Structure 1
């Protein structure tokens, strides 16, 4: 596939992480596709920028435009998936396809209660302690070449309350009705919480389908980078074939 016909792909990271989350995907896909990964407001290189969904959508839009290849396939994980849904609503002309990874659970109602509690708890724990805990966890669970870019970029614990404070109560399957492009709902098989609404999300969109990564959890692109990347690659090629 040549760059002239390949859809550009923009990756949007999850809670507390950064563009570094996608290092394995960028390395594998950049020979076939124009690719970019963003730092959401309050994360990574934008650590000092206040969080808002409006800013998040503007950052995604700017990344799409920077690739200068027309509408993009946007891949969003967790918090980045919900931000990508908002981007799809606000910028339909810039979207060629959407991958929702770990972002097909309603953020409304009782489901949101433990996440509101966690968002309120995080600021009470020293950031350096949270950093050490996250570093140890990632290095224990995943190969260095998968997680070192994430570790180097640090964690946006300070942004978590504002980010999830805005996302919680805002999204459910009805958000899919605002997506004017094909959708791949790509979840880890064992991510029982964030795939809890995947059937409803898929039913709400005429061009949506669900694909599971076997044995993977919420961080499915870390658990099985090759399977995650392959799913994105196949979906991008389907978009190209569909014209």
Structure 2
């Protein structure tokens, strides 16, 4: 693959996190691919912006255009994966491939019930206490090079209720029919909740496959950054040339 052929890659973070979630992937891939990670509305540098899926998809579209290499591979984790599905529906010509990481569960029906409960609970807990809990959690589980960029960017607890309210009840395997590009469903092996619909999501698309990151949980790119990055790299190299 020449520099001119390299697939641009846009990374979209999960709930409450930021572009910093992808620091390891950006560092590992930037010598081969044009890469960029975005902050979704209400998160990190966009903390003051109100959340909406419409705004999220336009942010992803702007990132794709800014890389200047045509349609991009979009890698979305959790909330970012569902936002990327919406981007695929609204901007099919800007999408060259899609990686859904921890975003292959239906957000409809009973599955959504505990998440609605959490969304109601979060605003009742002081943000500084939530920040302390998250900092300790991340530092206990992961080395500094994996999580420090995320910790420095802070957490968007205030955005969680609005973001989940819009996503819950909206997505299921039928959403895959709007994706007009190859799909890699990339899940942590030990992420049963968000793997629950992976088979249905894969069957709903003519060019989708499932790959599991061994021993990884929901934050697969933190649990196994090298394996996660390698899966994205291989998928990017396999994507057909534009035109």
Task: State the TM-score, normalized to the length of structure 1.
Answer: 0.99
Could you say what secondary structure the match of 2:11 adopts? strand
Partner residue in 2 for 1:51: 51
The CA distance in 2 between the partners of 1:216 and 1:100, in whole Å, is 15
The CA distance in 1 between the partners of 2:230 and 2:120, in whole Å, is 37
Partner residue in 1 for 2:143: 143
Deviations 1:136-187 (A, max 9, x none): 0000000100000000000000000000000000000000000000000000
Could you say what secondary structure the match of 2:100 adopts? strand
Partner residue in 2 for 1:218: 218
Aligned residues: 243
CA contact (8 A) 2:5 2:241 kept: no
How far is 1:2 from its partner?
Answer: 2.7
Could you say what secondary structure the match of 2:192 adopts? coil
How far is 1:240 from its partner?
Answer: 4.3
Deviations 1:100-152 (A, max 9, x none): 00000000000000000000000000000000000000000001000000000
Could you say what secondary structure the match of 2:51 adopts? coil
Q: Is residue 35 of structure 2 the alignment partner of residue 24 of structure 1? A: no
Partner residue in 1 for 2:113: 113
Q: Is residue 195 of structure 2 the alignment partner of residue 203 of structure 1? A: no
How far is 1:3 from its partner?
Answer: 2.2
Provide structure 1 residue ranges, at least 5 long, that are not aligned to the other structure. Answer: none
CA contact (8 A) 1:6 1:240 kept: no
Deviations 1:5-38 (A, max 9, x none): 0110000000000000000000000000000000
Q: Is residue 91 of structure 2 the alignment partner of residue 91 of structure 1? A: yes
Instruction: Give the direction of change, closer, same or farther, for the CA distance of 1:3–1:240 in structure 2 (3 Å limit).
Output: farther
The CA distance in 1 between the partners of 2:202 and 2:68, in whole Å, is 30
Could you say what secondary structure the match of 1:194 adopts? helix
CA contact (8 A) 1:105 1:194 kept: yes
Task: State the TM-score, normalized to the length of structure 2.
Answer: 0.99
Provide structure 2 residue ranges, at least 5 long, that are not aligned to the other structure. Answer: none
Q: Which runs of 4+ in 1 moved over 3 A?
A: 240-243
Could you say what secondary structure the match of 1:4 adopts? coil
The CA distance in 2 between the partners of 1:127 and 1:31, in whole Å, is 38
